[in-house]
Structures are given as structure tokens and as C-alpha cells.
A and B are shown apart, each in its own frame.
Chain A
Amino acid sequence: MADGTDISRRHFVQVSAAAGGLMLSFSVAGKARADGTTAPVLNAYVTIAPDNVVTLVAKNPEIGQGIKTSLPMIIAEELDVDWAQVRIQQADSKPAVYGLQFAGGSMATPMNWDQLRKVGATARALIVAAAAANWKVPASECTTASGVVYHKASKRSATYGSLAAQAATLPAPDPKSIVLKDPKAYKIIGKSKPQVDTAAIVRGKPLFGIDVVVPGMLYATFEKAPVFGAGVASADLDAALAVKGVRKAFLVGGGPELNGLLPGVAVVADSWWQARQGRNKLNIKWQDHPTAQQSSSGFAAQADALSKGAPLRTERQDGDVAAGFTGATSTVEAAYAYPFIAHAPLEPQNCTAHFHDGKMEIWAPTQYPDAGRQLVAKTLGLKPADITIHMTRCGGGFGRRLANDYMVEAAWIAKETGAPVKLLWTREDDLRHDFYRPAGWHYLKGAVAKSGKISAWHDHFVTLGTAGKPASSAGMATTEFPARFVENFKYDLSVIECGIPTGPLRAPGSNALAFVVQSFIDELAHSAGIDPVTFRLNLLGDQVFVGTAGKDGYDGHRMKGVLELVAAKSGWGKTKLGPRQGMGVAFHFSHLGYFAEVVQAHVSEAGDVTVEKVWVAADVGRQIINPTGALNQVQGAVIDGLSAALGQKISIEGGAVVERNFNTYPLLRMKSAPMVEVHWNITDNAPTGLGEPALPPVLPALCNAIFAATGKRLRSLPISKDQLKV
């Protein structure tokens, strides 16, 4: 948790002049430190106008996860107002005011659930205190509902709007005196609310980064080397400048950091299409770069060679793996592999920047605006305080916009141009300059004992990285399941040198590891002739909880709960299936969520896979904040996972990406989208996030269903028709 998000610090309120009169701004300030600096503060979430319209600030970036709706719902609930009287204002990036603002790790709900309830409840307490003072009655005799304070005994009432200015002058209540609502009384939390931007979305209103218009704005395109990090040898800038509308064409020196400003050529024009025409004339020659020696096939060959020797190091060793194989009733040895994949958010990377009066103003679709600010400050030699970042709605994120490479490019080009500039990438730029989900290879050996439990598990994981260290999102925790659930367990690691940029993609790590682990568990189940659900229940066993809560904890009991629920809801073991039709099961814990999923699929003799239906059982704690949004996230994540399993692959040749656009990087479309039935297993645990954890289990559940349908075990992704032809 970042400094300053602790609501127990000193509180204050402030009054600000705003349209229509005084409004209450409720603030939670950081404590002044002994050295005279002030700790970061959470600030100004609530303003209440005299007409009782309540404006709530949405602090985090909206990328389609619905956070612009669900976080303000939490405040509104405790403030005790009607959702209909609430307006939402998207915050700018102001970490000193709002604390950490980012969209990643499905963390917004767990990080803000307690804080924002207290923000709402504290604001309500101030309003009640103002009413009580006016009426000269104890605050405890006042009640609230729908933005109105009541004193029943004297039959008096007053709207929040009529009390707000006065409330703003009162001292903040003691945090210990703030009482949160009993969840049974919730009127907003737990009730489906459409996204606050829905009406604008369906009318095509300008909401996204790409829609930003600044007076006098020019349009830019930026070309970087296909080989990651290669410099510019030469470019025909004059030819670009000769194209109508092109104002500037210039080299950008950049640096060696793959997540920073890379070398390239910028073209700036009166319109984006003109900039692109100029770019087409550049005839850029690129310098040689060592990454040009790298390729997907080369990585695979190195992985295969490494698997035959001793690993770089052993990451975890429990019990005696060799002993686990002795006396086993069945053993399996298998090699699994998965490719690089791209994020491909539908809104291509873009950013608008304007450098004026020594300061940088930025409009960006970004998942992590302050990281962008720091990058721009460092690269351009500006003070972070001189960089303003307006967060726009993001046309998808999936982890891609945690990197702010396009932001620093826009800032650099705008400063160089001396005018506001909107930089927009092409789809080809996007697919060739991502921070990819890294490829990986797992060489597995496992054994099943007479008891029906796994008696040995050995994974030699070959991953990508540098100097023996896994690259971003290329690692595997030593506690990754089934560690701690198998007595004799060994995890070896080897690392291949890699110059391809990698990074977090929706459910990072898990989106690949679940495929490997849950497929191999399935292999072991079938090798022992045990039903895959029964086998998994045996594996989870009686361990209620392993590890440390809040760190590496894993609640086996919660996982059993969702596994049993999904088996029941899907008719597991009771459904009559036709030829080449099968059901597969898998579970996975990630981002604090417990998910078990069943896929029913059919495979034609030609090898075409039809996903007929998916059942999901989910445990994200005691409270679903916005049920309609939650269901949408789960259904979307499941289909996203199927899309990755069925078609997504980024290939590296000569240090560059081969795929160019959606014709060679297929995303799942309507005709292939199955029904996804979702069941919540409500348990008495803190509410957790939903952007990611539904995705990982669907990939192995699909592969396991295909095995059930065809007897063919898929050990590499994406699934290819050729593997499944009769």
C-alpha cells in the first residue's frame, strides 16, 4: 500500500467555489512530517452541490474493467445517496491526492474497498453533524437516506446539498467514530449498475485517447526498428517532407531501454493520414543489432537442449522426487510449450502531448499514469511536478498500457515540434512493438501413487530472460501450484538470453502456467484411470490453507468449493456426450480469486474445435460490488482465454515480429464465442478483483475437453487444426 492511503491519518475538509455555489470537498490529508514535507494525501472524492447533485471522483484508469463505476459505487453506498443523484468525474493523475492510481493485478477492489467505504462514511458523518448542530439534537438521533438527513422525532429533514457548505467548515470526525454499514442494508453495492459511460459509448461520443482534440494540434506517426532496439542508420527525411501536409520529419535518438524511448523516425503532419504517407517515403535503413540473431525456433531449440542437461538452478525442492516415482502406479513425462502473445487492445497506442511554458500536458489512455510521468520526466529532463496527465478512457488495456512507451514518444515529439501533437500507432506498430507475454517451456515428470494422489512432480522450466534472471512476467513463483500440495516436488529453472521485450498480460504468469499445470494434472489423472474432478479433489486433499495470508496464501478449501460447484453445475460425469465431444475441467488461483471451469467442446474430423459451453465457478469473497459488471468481466476473460488458446501466437524471426495485423494474428470472433455460465461461490472473505482470474483455467479446461473428445493431448499453444485431424 502506498503512503498516504491510510485513512487513519489527519482528516480535514475544504470548501471550494464551484459552479452553482459552494461545494463540500471531503479530504483525507497526509500527516505533516517532522522534516516539513507532507505525506501523500487522498483527497477530494466528494462534492455536493446545493441542488443535491453529488459528484464522486473515479480515481483509477478505466480500461473496460468497469472501475469508473464500481469504485464510486462504494463511496455512494456509505455516503447514503441515491445512485441517480451521483455524477462521476474521472480523476487526473494526482498520486499526492489519490494515492496509487493504476489498473493492474486486479488490485483496485482489494486496495480500495475499505478506504472508499470510509471516505463515503466520513463525508456522511460530516453532513449529519451539520444537521444535528442546526437542529440542536444529538447526531445519533439523525438518520439518512437518499441524500437527505432526517430527525424523525421532530419531523425535520434537510438535503445534503443544503448542508454541504456548513459541513465543510466542521472539524473532521474521529476516524474511530465512523461506523460502516451492515452489508444487509446495502442499496447500491451488490446491485447491478450500468457503466457510467454506457450512454456515451453507444452514441460514439469522444471518450478515448484517440478522440482527444487540442486546438492547433498536429498528428504524428513514429517508426521504430523491426528488430527491437536497433538504431536508425539513414532515413530520407526530405522525401517525407515533400508529402503534402507534412510539417516535420526528424530522427529520435532514443536509448537502449526497451521500455523507454527507442530510436526511430517521427513524421508530423496536418492530419494523421498525411503523416502516414510521409512515413511511407522514409526508406529507413536500420543499424545492425544483436537481437537480430534471435528467433522463436531458436529459442525452442535452446529450450530443448537445456532440458537435456542440468538446470541453471533448483528453485524449490520438497521431499524426495526419486522416491516418489518408486512404487508409483503410473508415471508421465511430457514437454509443454507456449508462444509469445500480444495484448492488441483494440484502440491502438496513442497519446496527445503539448509542451508549453516549460510544462508538459498529456492526455493518455494509460493503465499507470504516474509511471508514465516518471518516464517522461527522466527522458526529457523535466520535473515530475511540471507534467500534467489527464487520463482518458482506454480502448482496452490487458496490461499493455502499464508501459508508457507511447507516452514518452508523444512527449518527445511534441516538445521537438513545438505544438500540441497527437501520436497514433498503426496496428502493425502495435503488434510489432508490444511487451509480449513471454514464451516458455516446461519439461515435466510426474507420478501417481496407489492412494490416487500425486507422489512426485518435477518441472524443469525453461524461460526467457537475461543473465540468469527471468524477464518481466517470465518467472514462476516457488509457491506456484501444485507446490505445497505434492510431497515430493522439484522445480528446476533454466534461462535463455532474450532481447524481445516482455511484460504483464492479463493474468500474467497464470495465463500460461495454468495451461501447463492443469493439463499435466489431467494427464496424471488419466494415466491412473481416475476421474479428473475426483483426482483434483484428492490433490487438494484436506489442506485448508497453506502459506501466509496476504502473501503467498492458498486456500485449498476455497478451491475445493469452486471445483465441487462447477462439477455440479456442469453436470460433470452425468452428461451424455456424443462422438468427438468431451468435457474438461481445470482450476486456478490467481489475483486472490479461486476459479474452477468446465469446457464442453466438439472436435470435427477435420480438426475444427467448437467450444460449445463453458461453466465457471468463482470465489472472490463475500461481496460482488457490481454484479452486471462482474459477470461481463468473467465472460469476457473466459472468451479472451479461448481466443489465446485457439489462435494467438507471435512469432519472432530475425529478432522481429512476423505477424502484422488481425489477418495474421486472429482474435476470436462472434461465430466462435460460446455461452459462458457463471456461478458465484460467496464465502466470508474480503472482496477481491475480477479483471484477470477467470482467464487462466479456461485454456487447460479446453485442452482437457479436447483430450476427452479425441484422446489427443495438446501440449503446445495455440491449438492447431493439424494436431487434431483424423
Chain B
Amino acid sequence: MTYSLNVDGKVRQADVEPGTPLLWALRDSLGILGPKFGCGIGSCGACTVHIDGVPVRSCATPVEKVGAGKVTTIEAIGDTAIGKKVQAAWTELDVAQCGYCQPGQIMSATALLTKTPKPTDADIDTAMSGNICRCATYTRIRAAIKLASGQKSGV
């Protein structure tokens, strides 16, 4: 089957079978390698993309459910004002260790700040607890979200 997917501002054709998770349509069919594979069950968040601005786990989203939804990946989130600020904060605080989860963390953080420009610690806990960082850079992730939102960080 060929699916027309609107990804990162372009309509692209993914030739995959029904039931294929969006993640694998992006990675193997379209060559968009930014979203990462971590668990395959929507539990770790490494594969997070936005569909119409809402963070979703692309590893557990069948491609046929995407429809005309606008998919944004880590590769284009820097084109948005908030995504750019989040990436800048991540860079300034040098958040990453191995860096593998960070595309997903940045996508979740950008979605949070889009909805809640000045998140509290509790807001951050809720929005970010779907993303595992195996290196446990949580201290800096929290600080970077605060920095990107113009709030003082505790670090």
C-alpha cells in the first residue's frame, strides 16, 4: 500500500503494509531517522512525533491512522519558535549524555510548552514521565524546560 503522509511540511509517499507503525514508515520507508526506536510499545517515548501538534508514540501508531494529520518530527521541530527555543535550551545546558532519547524528550517538551508556556514542576512531571532517559539526565531536562520557558531553574 502507498500512504500519502504529510511529514515535516512535505507530502511524501510511504510504501508500507497496513499495520506498519508510523515509526517504521518514517525510518525505513522515508529515511527520516530522527525519531528513535526504544521499546515498540509506546512506553519509552524515544519515537515521539507530533500529529497536528499532539505528541504521539509513533512506534505504536499504525500508519493508516495518521490520515491527513500533519506529522512533525525532531528533524523539523526547530522550524517552530518553541521547538527552536527548546533545542537552544538543550544545547545551552548540554542536557544529553548518550542522546538517544533526546529527540523524543524535545518533542514532548515542545508540546508541553506549546500548551503550557510556564509549566510548574508538576506539569513537567506529567508531560515528561512518558519519556525514559536511561542515562537519567532528568535534572537537566527539567532545567532546560524551565530555561526555554523563561523561568528560573533550580540547577
Binding site for B on A (CB under 8 A): 62-66, 192, 194-195, 197-199, 201-208, 210-211, 213, 219, 244-245, 271-274, 277, 344-348, 393-398, 424, 426-428, 628-629, 632-633, 635-640, 643, 661-663, 667-671, 673, 675-676
Contact = CB atoms under 8 A, between A and B. Distances in A.
B38 A347 contact: yes
A426 B44 CA distance: 13
B136 A635 contact: yes
Contacts of A396: 98, 100, 134-135
B28 A273 contact: yes
B53 interface: no
A628 B94 contact: yes
A273 B16 contact: yes
A272 B132 CA distance: 23
Contact of B87 (A202, A244, A274): A202
Contacts of B17: 244-245, 273-274, 277
A210 B37 contact: yes
A202 B124 contact: no
A208 B100 contact: yes
21 contacts: A198-B99, A201-B99, A202-B90, A202-B96, A203-B87, A210-B37, A245-B17, A272-B24, A273-B24, A345-B100, A346-B38, A346-B134, A395-B99, A396-B134, A427-B39, A639-B139, A662-B44, A663-B43, A670-B124, A670-B141, A673-B142
A398 to B, nearest CB: 8
B39 A640 contact: no
B125 A198 contact: no
A244 B1 CA distance: 11
Give the interface centre of B33, B34, B125, B138 by most chain A CB atoms within 10 Å: B138
A345 B17 CA distance: 29
B91 A199 contact: yes
Contacts of A639: 136, 138-139
Contacts of B27: 272
Interface in B83-106: 87, 90-91, 94, 96-103, 106
Contact of B34 (A204, A632, A669): A204
Question: In terms of DSSP, what is the predominant structure of the interface of chain B?
Answer: loop
A63 B91 contact: no
Given A64-B97, A202-B102, A633-B97, A345 B134 contact: yes
Contacts of A64: 96-100, 135
Contacts of B73: 204
B131 interface: yes
A197 B39 contact: no
A632 B24 contact: no
B136 A668 contact: yes
B36 A347 contact: yes
Interface string B10-49: 0000001100110010011101011111111101101000
Interface string B64-89: 00000000011100100000000100
A8 B39 CA distance: 49
B4 interface: no
A287 B35 CA distance: 38
A328 to B, nearest CB: 41
A632 B137 contact: yes
A678 to B, nearest CB: 10
A210 B136 contact: no
B75 A204 contact: yes
B46 A271 contact: no
A65 B98 CA distance: 7
Given A64-B96, A207-B99, A427-B38, 7 more contacts: A65-B97, A197-B99, A198-B91, A346-B46, A348-B37, A635-B137, A671-B125
A670 B129 contact: yes
Nearest to A197: B99
Given A271-B16, A395-B99, A424 B37 contact: yes
A393 B98 contact: yes
B65 to A, nearest CB: 15
A63 B99 CA distance: 9
A192 to B, nearest CB: 8
B101 A346 contact: yes
Interface residues of B, number: 57
A671 B35 CA distance: 23
Given A203-B74, A204-B75, A426-B40, A344 B94 contact: no
| A-B pairs, 7 with minimum CB distance | A204-B34, A64-B98, A395-B100, A204-B74, A673-B138, A639-B136, A201-B99
Nearest to A270: B28
A662 to B, nearest CB: 4
B9 interface: no
B128 interface: yes
B43 A395 contact: no
B118 interface: no
Give the interface centre of A201, A203, A211 by most chain B CB atoms within 10 Å: A201
Contact of A636 (B33, B36, B102, B136): B136
B106 A675 contact: no
A470 B146 CA distance: 48
A210 B91 contact: no
B83 to A, nearest CB: 10
Nearest to B155: A675
Contacts of A244: 17
A675 B144 CA distance: 14
Contact of A273 (B21, B97, B100): B21
Contacts of A277: 17
Given A204-B103, A274-B17, A675-B154, A63 B98 contact: yes
Contact of B131 (A62, A213, A670): A670
A485 B10 CA distance: 68
B145 to A, nearest CB: 10
Given A64-B99, A244-B17, A273-B24, A640 B125 contact: no
Given A636-B137, A671-B125, A219 B28 contact: yes
B54 to A, nearest CB: 19
A219 B28 CA distance: 9
Given A636-B136, A673-B139, A393 B99 contact: yes
Given A395-B98, A663-B43, A670-B142, A194 B91 contact: yes
Contacts of A670: 124-125, 128-129, 131, 138, 141-142
A667 B36 contact: no
A611 to B, nearest CB: 12
Interface string B104-115: 001000000000
Contacts of B141: 670
Contact of A662 (B106, B132, B142): B132
A707 B38 CA distance: 36
Contact of B96 (A201, A394, A397): A201
A72 to B, nearest CB: 16
A195 B92 CA distance: 11
